[in-house]
Every structure is written in C-alpha cells, then in structure tokens.
C-alpha cells in the first residue's frame, strides 16, 4: 500500500474489512487502521451504535480500554471528530462475518464519563472497572463501578499521564561482615 492510500484510509486488497457503504449506514466517521475499520462515534450516540452493531452480528465485545493523549493531542482523527484528552477504545468481533471492528470514542477531561455496555454485553463488567480504576473514566449505569486493581482507598488513577509516580525510599540491609 502506498503512503497516499494509507493516508486516505484505504484498505489493502485481500484484507477483511467492511465495505465503505456498509459502514456508512451507521452515520459516524470511519477510518482504517492496519486493514481494520475504525468507527468514531460521539458519546451521545455511542450506545445506539453499539446496539445497531450487535443487531448486525457484532456479537462479542473483545476489549475495552482507554488512552490518555495528554502528551500527544495531535493524533490523526477523521475530519469532524473533535479531539479530547481521553479516548475510549472498544473492540467488537463478528464471527459470522469474520470481521473485527474498533470504535474510538472521544471523552473530555472535564466530564470523563460514557454509558456502560454492561446491559448489552455483560462480559464488559470487569473491563469497564479496570478502565475506571486506571484512567478515571466513569461508566454510567454500571452495576458495580468500584476499583478492581488498586485498593479502595487509593487516590488517583495510575495510567493517567499526569499521575505522579511518587518515590518510595529503598531500604538496604547492612551487608553481612566477611570477617
């Protein structure tokens, strides 16, 4: 694939990707990354899009994660998608179509929240808790949004780029005498 094709979001021949007209019916910006379709919905239409994708055969949510772009605000996004500090990344799979689909949802720093997928995909419960614990993104409608990796009394979210790693003093034992 040429650089021009890659910049235009073209899909290399022979790679599994939904047809452009197939994805256009969802009404959200589409890009391609390494031959995989990437949808860029707004937070407001996120759940409706997930429900439509589930009805169209994307029957498993493989992963939910988040990225903090504090240090890299100029990442490439399709025209019309407003850059935000955080980005929620959702990976879906359709076994009948033999396709994967990625969603990238922009989440503002001032209100880091998105609707929970738990009602549609119950297996996302722990993934959403991990994103909440590490990044501080709140999943509204989640049945038990509590920390899963860090202690309950932990302050802050360790994977945020502005989280201070702190300093733990190392205590060495006195070396044994060789005499």
Question: Is 40 domain-assigned?
Answer: yes
Is 58 among the domain residues?
yes
Q: pLDDT digits over 77-97, tens only?
A: 999 999 999 999 999 999 999
Q: Which two tokens stand for residue 93?
A: 């799979």
How far from chain centre, in Å, is Cα 21?
A: 24
Looking at the domain assignment, is residue 7 inside a domain? Answer: no
64 within some domain: yes
State the chain's mean pLDDT as an integer.
87
**Rounded alpha-carbon distances, angstroms, from residue 63 to 6, 91, 166:** 25, 5, 30
- ∠ Cα 91 101 77 (to 5°): 90
DSSP state of 176: P
Domain of 136: which CATH number?
3.30.460.80
Q: How many structural domains comprise the chain?
A: 1
Q: Phi, psi at residue 164, to the nearest 5°?
A: -75, 130
- List residues bridging with 107 in a β-sheet: 86
Residue 102 domain-assigned (yes or no): yes
Give the contacts of 112 (CB within 8 A, at least 6 positions apart): 86, 135, 136, 137, 138
Domain that residue 52 falls in: 23-74+81-140
Q: What number is the average pLDDT over the span 139-162?
A: 95
Write down the pTM of the prediction: 0.81
Helices (H), the chain: 3-7, 20-24, 46-55, 125-135
DSSP 63: E
pLDDT at 177: 67
Is 163 among the domain residues?
A: no
- Residue 48 CA to residue 136 CA, distance in Å, equals 23
Whether 122 maps to a domain, the answer reads: yes
pLDDT band at 164 (very low <50, low <70, confident <90, very high): confident
How far apart (Å, rounded) are the C-alpha atoms in residues 139 and 28? Answer: 22
Give first-to-last CA distance, the chain, whole Å: 69
Flag the least confident range among 23-32, 83-92, 118-127: 23-32
């Amino acid at each position: 694939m040429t650089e021009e094709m890659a910049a235009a979001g073209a899909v290399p021949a022979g790679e599994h990707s939904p047809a452009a007209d197939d994805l256009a019916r969802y009404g959200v910006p589409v890009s391609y990354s390494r031959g995989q379709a990437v949808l860029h919905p707004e937070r407001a239409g996120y759940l409706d899009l997930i429900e439509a994708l589930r009805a169209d055969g994307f029957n498993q949510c493989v992963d939910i994660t988040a990225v903090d772009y504090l240090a890299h605000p100029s990442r490439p996004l399709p025209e019309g998608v407003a850059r935000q500090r955080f980005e929620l990344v959702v990976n879906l799979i359709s076994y009948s179509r033999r396709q994967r689909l990625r969603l990238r949802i922009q989440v503002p720093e001032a209100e880091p929240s998105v609707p929970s997928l738990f009602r549609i995909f119950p297996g996302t419960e722990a993934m959403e808790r991990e994103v909440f614990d590490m990044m501080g993104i709140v999943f509204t409608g989640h049945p038990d949004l509590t920390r899963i990796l860090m202690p309950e009394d932990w302050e802050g979210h360790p994977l945020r780029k502005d989280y201070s790693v702190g300093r733990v003093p190392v205590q060495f034992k006195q070396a044994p005498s060789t005499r």
